[in-house]
Amino acid sequence: MIISSLAIAITLIISAIVMMISFILSKKTITDREKNTPFECGFDPKGSARLPFSLRFFLIAVIFLIFDVEITLLLPLATILKLVNVFSWLFVGVFFILILLLGLYHEWNQGALDWAD
């Protein structure tokens, strides 16, 4: 009990010291007006720095991200094949892929995958 509370106290002290050192070292001591202004070839910016982007591109990127994460969830199925019952492994794998295919069909049906109008 004493050892664990001592370890917690040491951990908190070390983390507080590291946070204080980083706070002290990260301060900018010299503030220059020219360095704080936006830089665009020596001239003041004329337009907005934020450009609009296609919402369809964003939707495709989100769908890709979702299916990419699902692939990482499918990879452990191959490694546990020898450790579990084959029928339960097959059921879980087919059920998971079926859910993915139903989601893909839904996205396709809603028109989220149609790039051109």
Query: How does residue 113 score in pLDDT terms, banded at 50, 70 and 90?
Result: confident
The total of structural domains in the chain comes to: 1
Structural domain including 100 reads 55-110
Does 13 score more than 90 pLDDT?
yes
For residue 4, is it within any domain?
no
Q: How confident is the model at residue 44 (pLDDT cuts 50, 70, 90)?
A: low
* Residue 76, domain member (yes or no): yes
Residue 1 lies in a domain: no
23 within domain boundaries: no
Residue 64: which of 111, 104, 96, 106 has the closest Cα? 104
Q: Is residue 117 part of a domain?
A: no
Give tens-digit pLDDT for 78-92: 888 888 888 988 998
pTM confidence score: 0.47
Residues sharing a CB contact under 8 Å with residue 112, sequence separation 6 or more, in sequence order: 59, 60, 63
Is residue 31 within 8 A of residue 84, CB to CB? The reply is: no
Domain-embedded: residue 34:
no
pLDDT band at 14 (very low <50, low <70, confident <90, very high): very high
